[in-house]
Structure 1
Amino acid sequence: MTSLGDILKTHVDDGTVPGAVGLVSRGGRTEAVAVGHADTEGTTPLARDSVFRIASLTKPLVAAALMMLVDEGRIALADPVGTWLPELASPSVVRTPDAPVDDVVPATRPITVIDLLTSRTGYGFPPDFSLPAVAPLFSEGLQAPTHPQVPPAPDEWLARLSRVPLLHQPGAAWLYHTSSDLQGALIARVSGRPLPEFLAERLFDPLGMADTGFHVPAARLNRFTGLYRPGPDGGLELADAPDGEWSRPPAFPSGGGGLVSTADDWHAFARLLLADGTTPDGRRLLSPAAIRRMTTNHLPFPERRANRAFLEGQGWGFGGSVDVTPHDPWNIPGRYGWTGGTGTTAHIVPSTGLCAILLTQVEATSAAPPPLMRDFWAHTTRP
């Protein structure tokens, strides 16, 4: 039978990725494999504790942090976010998704907390990036997934976003990414703490996630991987060096994709979800009800079908996708998790206790998962 190491080595050897770290945990047993190098030059071998830009694997962590505030009664799912984010208290909406940005109507209701958690605020990326109301998200420096130093500090970020019309009415349609950034901004306003401080104190420190944060301190740069993209000659070209954009704190800590982490750190978070919100030493961080909401599909079939470019028919929980039908070999109903545009993926299956994490360092060229990811899923979701 093909092993996890064999699968990773096949894709490293063919030059698809310089290296990969895979971790699979089930039934109290954990297998972790590191193959290849942190760089295309082959000077630094990957290790289990290598640090990667996890991109959108940030989303489940931030959703969990927001649910902590819900558990504490400091905010409710039905609350209008305008209470804490007054910049978004009275948004406008383009008359139709393809309308010019100045052809707007008032929102028919406020944006709520659950709209943020289900990515249905009206802000975000649709399958068609050419729509006029999508362009300002980039031109205003609001979204720069692999350039964390571009977006401005949270107050200015929200001020700029407030001038961009919604693509859909609140609650009407699933759109990718921006709602997770808004979750981070909301956590900071509700808690009165910068997002990095809140996450460190309430989630990372209790779980021992020492290598997770929005930048890599100088003392750990020797374990940080380079970030690559496919080059025009079919090879890989450097997109960000270890001492590049993630070597210092960003002005805007992106709740949608700004974190760095390791396989074992993300595994610690996964174990929290699989243990109904308690740490190994018995400390409760999240309620079982919060985890059930996070890992339950909230999207009806028409929205799943309309967003196949991102979801491939999957549903959406809070911060991650939820498999709802076994339409592919790796699709297990109830599997929760997500993928990151820097070549990362992580999922759990609450019914079986499975956790599967794959970290690589090559940017995705489309929303469709690359072959390595699909091979990893097929291997790890076998009975």
Structure 2
Amino acid sequence: MLHETIIARRAFLGSALASGALLGATPAHAFLRETNAYPALDAFIRGFVTRKQLAGTLATVGKGFAAPTVLSAGTLANDSNKPVDIDSLWRIYSMTKPITGMAAMILIGEGKLKLDQPLADILPAFANMKVLKSADGPLSETVPAKTPITIRHLLTHTAGLGYNIIQSGPIKAAYESNGIVPAQLSRVSLPGIPNPKPAPSLKEFAERLAKLPLVYEPGTKWSYSVALDLMGRVIEVVSGKPFDQFLSERIFAPLGMKSTYFRVPQSQVARLTTNYLPLGPVLLPVDVASNSIYLDAPAFPFGGAGLVTSARDYDRFLMMLLGEGAIGDVRIMAPATARLGMSNLLPPGVSTAGTFAGGEGFGAGGRVSLPNSPRGPGVYGWGGAAGTIAWVDTTRKMRVGGYAQYMPAEAMPFQSGLPEAIARDLV
């Protein structure tokens, strides 16, 4: 079904990173348009606009801690004459996951969480979980879980949790009826695309989730899931602050990320892009900026796919990762903590072969390249359902972001082709 693909492949970094990825506020005039430096990338993003496949596209490439080169084409929407730029606002969906993962790493670095700590220590309702005998089988046919869910499992999608955009059968229906859903999409109904009402709070989300069986035995299988949404609840319980407040105080404000929102202020709607669904040669608007679902307060802050941000802001996040937890004198976590979050945290014996993670490792909410990867170790990042993609390459000291707004991400080769385009330039 269309709904299965709208968000299910939001994180299409698999072949992208494997095939070629390397990868205080700065005044606008400091950003360069170096088309001579990145001709293949420039031609790549412009092509989608020239062919009228997308309304607007943008890419950033940063070397070391210098201001990024910004390449852009097109406008905020097909009916807009305002060009996209580094301050345009994009729905990044699952590119929220690395931010949530690093928020958890801050608490791990402070000793308030432990990587292999049982989840039930923080959320007792997750003790004594049951596991479905069959992933798409009856909810009544379960066995006791042999292993407790841990923080590591949540960070790496190995907790055995499900996703209504991935699962099928009774567990999918149970997730939707209980509001265990990953993100907002649109305020309008779209043919063939269910739009379940989310749980009314992050606390209620976690409590309802704990009552449902797991899809897989914890620690045995990589399966894309609501784990990073649940991590938001863990963070607020451990920190004693609402999850969105924790992100604001510990990540966004210190890093100068002034345009990152779970809810876009009405005053900023002029910067918001429109999101589209490609239907043959037609781009159907699914979330128009002026009437966006993101102008409303979400039911709760979705730690797995809830953020809207600018390319400028996300580049600040990537710069912090490149600085191993710091930008200049501003440090939000220890170097060892940042390195740990960007390392392969998968439980022993778990493989991501045949998944969105493309046979690579997985760290705190993002895919991690391995020593035998085509580009070697040091690449950490993830993508989003609406075509966005971003990564940092700690070996080559680079950071890259790509931005577009269409769903599903595999409907056209923007997300998958952008790493290949920049690889041609870097060769």
Same fold by TM-score greater than 0.5: yes
Distance in 2, matches of 1:130 and 1:183, equals: 23
**Structure 2 counterpart SS, 1:303:** coil
Asked if structure 2 preserves the Cα contact closer than 8 Å seen for 1:138 and 1:144, the reply is no
Q: Residue 407 of structure 2 corresponds to which residue in structure 1?
A: 363
Q: Give the residue type in structure 2 aligned to 1:241.
A: V
Q: CA deviation at 1:312?
A: 2.4
Asked if structure 2 preserves the Cα contact closer than 8 Å seen for 1:25 and 1:31, the reply is yes
Q: CA deviation at 1:271?
A: 0.9
Q: Residue 112 of structure 1 corresponds to which residue in structure 2?
A: 150
Q: Give the residue type in structure 2 aligned to 1:31.
A: T
Q: CA deviation at 1:13?
A: 1.4
Asked if structure 2 preserves the Cα contact closer than 8 Å seen for 1:148 and 1:250, the reply is no
Asked if structure 1 preserves the Cα contact closer than 8 Å seen for 2:229 and 2:304, the reply is yes
1:185 matches 2:233: yes
Distance in 1, matches of 2:377 and 2:327, equals: 26
The partner residue of 1:38 within 76, 90, 97 is: 76
Q: Residue 419 of structure 2 corresponds to which residue in structure 1?
A: 377
- Is the deviation greater in 134-143 or in 193-202? 134-143
Distance in 1, matches of 2:183 and 2:283, equals: 19
Q: Residue 64 of structure 1 corresponds to which residue in structure 2?
A: 102
Q: What does 1:187-336 align with in structure 2 at a 5 Å threshold?
A: 187-231=235-279, 233-242=280-289, 243-280=291-328, 282-299=329-346, 303-307=351-355, 310-324=356-370, 332-336=376-380
Asked if structure 2 preserves the Cα contact closer than 8 Å seen for 1:314 and 1:325, the reply is no
The partner residue of 2:382 within 338, 358, 379 is: 338
Gaps of 5+ in 1: none
Distance in 1, matches of 2:151 and 2:177, equals: 26
Q: Give the residue type in structure 2 aligned to 1:129.
A: Q
Counterparts in 2 of 1:251 and 1:210: CA distance versus 1, 3 Å: same
The partner residue of 1:18 within 49, 55, 60 is: 55
Deviations 1:50-106 (A, max 9, x none): 001111110111111111111111111122111222222222111232432110112
The count of corresponding residues between Structure 1 and Structure 2 is 375
Q: Residue 47 of structure 1 corresponds to which residue in structure 2?
A: 85
- Is the deviation greater in 76-85 or in 58-67? 76-85
Counterparts in 2 of 1:201 and 1:302: CA distance versus 1, 3 Å: closer
For the aligned residues, what is the CA RMSD? 2.2
Q: What does 1:133-212 align with in structure 2 at a 5 Å threshold?
A: 133-147=171-185, 150-152=197-199, 153-212=201-260
Identity of aligned residues (%): 32
Q: CA deviation at 1:294?
A: 1.6
Counterparts in 2 of 1:148 and 1:170: CA distance versus 1, 3 Å: farther
Distance in 1, matches of 2:182 and 2:230, equals: 14
Q: CA deviation at 1:124?
A: 2.5
Distance in 2, matches of 1:12 and 1:146, equals: 26
Counterparts in 2 of 1:191 and 1:105: CA distance versus 1, 3 Å: same
Q: CA deviation at 1:318?
A: 1.2
Q: CA deviation at 1:365?
A: 5.2
Distance in 2, matches of 1:48 and 1:346, equals: 14
1:4 matches 2:41: yes
Distance in 2, matches of 1:258 and 1:93, equals: 28
Distance in 1, matches of 2:246 and 2:48, equals: 38
Q: What does 1:66-145 align with in structure 2 at a 5 Å threshold?
A: 66-125=104-163, 129-145=167-183
**Structure 1 counterpart SS, 2:352:** helix
When the two structures are superposed, what TM-score results if normalisation uses the length of structure 1?
A: 0.91
